[in-house]
Structure 1
Amino acid sequence: MTDVRGTEVLVPTEDGTADAYLACPAGGASRPAVLVFTDAFGVRPTVREAADRVARAGYTVLVPNLFHRRGPAPVVELPGFIDARARGAIFQRLRPIMQELTPKRATADAGAYLRWLAELPEAADGPVALVGYCMGAGLALRTAGAFPDRVAAVAGFHGGRLATDDPRSPHLAAPRITAEVYLGHADEDPSLPPEQIERLEKALTDAGVRHRCEVYPGAAHGFTQPDTASYDEKADERHWASLFGLLDRILRPGAST
């Protein structure tokens, strides 16, 4: 099993410095880079463990604090386990913070993260992969559209509000995306109803984006997050298989995990 080195790092952005978690295979060799956009709960122990798992498979992984303008992660206090009752109270505090992360700010931040990775010795030359969870799935799609020359693969899981009537909806980035896209949707997710899934897939198809969209039966929004009540072990393992399949095929052809 590959040893992993995990460190807390600081990434300069146009609006200050973003704290982030960097996970790399030990040894210092350059590896294909993966940029992870978290859910709204942000960087926390289970997220670091997930980044380590990706790094253990042979990748250099950067997980930035998306709400760095509000201070270091976590920007609100989180319990060790987020049940339905705690979730509501946490989102009352997070909602205005999420609204502050406009598409313009998020895209500027993403550019900073990509530039930082391009200069990192542990990150191999060439395009990167983006992985997004919940709100992070939308950020990944927008980033792929904004930086098509830097992004080769996008994986999004249980994303919400991906194809709305909002003129800033993530699905509108499709015509600018050149990366391969994989999306694993939660079956029981009011934030992404069937009509949005259909609209999103049509946008990707019409734009000629190589993609695969799958609905995970019985899975709830947040099914990959083991520190929440939404966690679904079976769906989570499917997510890992799909993610590594995409990463290996695009970033390390011929590799096995």
Structure 2
Amino acid sequence: MCDERQLETWARDTLSRRQFGALSGAAALAACASGTTESKASAAAGLKEQGVSFATPDGTMDAFFVQPEKGKHSAVILWPDIASIRESKRNIARTLAGKGHAVLVVNPYYRDVAGEQFADFAAFISQGGFQKVGPWRGKLNAETIMRDATAIVAWLDTQAGVDTARGIGTQGYCMGGPFTVWTAAAVPARIKAAASFHGGGLVRPDYPMSPHKVLDKVDANLLIAVAQDDDAKAPADKTTFADAAKAAGVEAKVEVYAGDHGWMVSDSPAWNAAAATKGEADLLALYGAALA
């Protein structure tokens, strides 16, 4: 599984194979394609969406919230990748909401900035995103994410469209992958499903709060979807995580996908339609089984 310190190398290598113009065009087409993780659903088609904000122990978090117009639904917390909230992540949320979930896309950088900072991943790279977000990302350790998760769950449970009788799901991409495990560990009574897609840093041997070391605090089913290139760099990580889950009595599907790091995200240079479709199907199966 990818170490977050390898992300800049990954971006340099993958983006060198594609021009930004081609990437932007492909991302636009991908966002409109049916049957993919990010097939765009209009808020007018039975959904309602809004920007929201709420208090946490560390300040005021902002987020994007989309849900079906009627009824009560299981909630989902979406932790974005390093480029944070943007249209590709809002489209993932819209698609999930169209499947009957109340989805909150959170801004993990709220301690420093509010709202969208980059229109897409191409803008993130071209605008020096790694340097810009470095100080913000440095604050996001297990303790801060667990504090945030507790506040997020508390806010969701006050929303009229959220069914508090059902468990909450959480999903994360790249740096957001470990955040899902920490979220599940922070609020085990409410978080019943967690999915990591090409997550970075799920196995950190020297970190006491490494995600694989806190599974004894988790009461959720897990989907750990590993990128094939990340697995090639650290092939033992998937086994280490799976063994830790088994020892903790946590149901975890740990699988290497036929896609490189970033395959689930339409504005990523590694976006892969077939692998993204499989990832969406596996995610919906996870939520269908665990959030009843």
Q: TM-score, normalised by structure 1?
A: 0.90
- The residue type equivalent to 1:94 in the other structure is V
- The residue type equivalent to 1:108 in the other structure is R
- Deviation, 1:89, is 3.0
Identity %: 29
Q: Larger relative CO (CA 8 A, sep 6+): 1 or 2? A: 2
Cα distance change on mapping 1:226 and 1:12 into 2, 3 Å: same
Structure 2 unaligned blocks of 5 or more: 1-40
Cα distance change on mapping 1:143 and 1:191 into 2, 3 Å: farther
Aligned position for 2:55: 12
1:38 to 76, 80, 98: 80
Aligned position for 1:86: 125
CA contact (8 A) 2:87 2:119 kept: no
- The residue type equivalent to 2:134 in the other structure is R
- The residue type equivalent to 2:58 in the other structure is D
In terms of mean alpha carbon deviation, does 100-109 or 182-191 score higher? 182-191
- How many residue pairs end up in the alignment? 247
Aligned position for 2:214: 173
More strand by share: 1
1 CA distance for matches of 2:120 and 2:247?
43
- The residue type equivalent to 1:58 in the other structure is G
CA contact (8 A) 1:161 1:192 kept: no
CA contact (8 A) 1:160 1:192 kept: no
Aligned position for 2:282: 242
Aligned position for 1:203: 244
CA contact (8 A) 2:81 2:173 kept: yes
Matched, 1:193 2:225: no
* Cα-to-partner distance string for 1:25-62 (whole Å, 9 max, x where unaligned): 112x1111111111111110111111010000011111
- The residue type equivalent to 2:133 in the other structure is L
**1:37-116 alignment to 2 at 5 Å?**
37-74=79-116, 76=117, 78-82=118-122, 86=125, 89-116=128-155
2 CA distance for matches of 1:195 and 1:87?
34
2 CA distance for matches of 1:87 and 1:247?
36
Structure 1 unaligned blocks of 5 or more: 253-257
- Structure 1: 4+ residue segments shifted above 6 A: none
Cα distance change on mapping 1:87 and 1:141 into 2, 3 Å: farther
CA contact (8 A) 1:161 1:191 kept: no
